Amino acid sequence: MMTYKQRLCCWAIARLLPSGQWIIVARFRSPSDADGHFQFLRQTIPHVKFEVVFDLKGESNRLEALRDRASNSLSSAL
């Protein structure tokens, strides 16, 4: 069960790992806050893949699309 505070922060930044897994690196209340931090991370660490996601339940189910999208873009680059 998520706490009230966790339910308020449903926007997240996910880092895609080389193994195809992901990890949430930060959570935010608004999409604009998440996007601002996302831009900072992209400029600071350009070689790492980050995505802004809406993670209402705080579980991996919401990020399956992120993993699929990353694998599709990787296979199309080859």
Q: Regarding predicted confidence, which is higher, 32 or 5?
A: 32
**Which range of residues forms the domain containing residue 49?**
4-77
The candidate with the shortest Cα–Cα distance to 58, out of 16, 4, 17, 19, is 4
**In sequence order, what E strands does the chain have?**
11-16, 22-28, 49-54
pLDDT in tens, 18-68: 888 889 999 898 999 999 999 999 999 999 999 999 886 665 444 555 556
Domain count, the chain: 1
> What amino acid is encoded at 33 in this protein?
D
Residue with tokens 């993993």: 67
What pTM, to 2 d.p., does this model score? 0.64
